[in-house]
Amino acid sequence: MIDPGELILIVDDEPDMCWALEHLLNKRGYATRTALSAQEALELMESHRFACAFLDAKLPDMDGLELARCIRLIAPDTRLLMVSGYFYRDDVSIQEAIAQGLIADFISKPFLQAEILRVVET
């Protein structure tokens, strides 16, 4: 469970998706930062401590699983959650990433607000 005072990072190349996640989480009292690219996310990781990060699977400058590996090196305790309209939960690469502990959970787009809140609040 993420405490409301802890920061959550949202990484998605679609500004509307960042806004939707940010709006939902902010309404519940969570503090958020957003990044539209992997590079921007990595820069934020260097200057902030995030309890959780929502990562899009396909970013313009890096694959989401590759970004997850980079974040693991910088902040091994950050809970990483993959959000994607490209992959599905039963894709081999997603199942392997979950089994290896690279990502904590996977949410497919379009998602329900309840799904986002479930992964943050459990």
Nearest to 21 by CA among 10, 33, 6, 37: 10
Residue 1 lies in a domain: no
Which of 28-42, 57-71, 80-94 shows the lowest per-residue confidence on average (mean pLDDT)? 80-94
Q: pTM for the whole thing?
A: 0.92
Question: Is residue 37 within 8 Å of residue 13, measured between CB atoms?
Answer: yes
What is the C-alpha to C-alpha distance for residues 34 and 46, in angstroms, rounded to an integer?
Answer: 14
The CATH number covering residue 92 comes to 3.40.50.2300
Residue 73 lies in a domain: yes
What is the C-alpha to C-alpha distance for residues 60 and 107, in angstroms, rounded to an integer?
Answer: 20
Give the residue-averaged pLDDT of 35-50. 96
Residue 41 lies in a domain: yes
Name residue 104's amino acid. A
Residue 69 lies in a domain: yes
**Bridge partners for 32 per DSSP:** 8
Residue 101 lies in a domain: yes
Residue 43 lies in a domain: yes
Note down the domain range covering 90. 7-121
In degrees, rounded to 5, the angle at the alpha carbon of residue 47 between the alpha carbons of residues 16 and 73 is 90
pLDDT, greater one: 70 or 94? 70
Domain count, the chain: 1
Residue 36 lies in a domain: yes
Residue 2 lies in a domain: no
**What mean pLDDT is reported for the chain?**
91
Task: Please report which confidence band the pLDDT of residue 14 belongs to, taking 50, 70 and 90 as the band edges.
Answer: very high
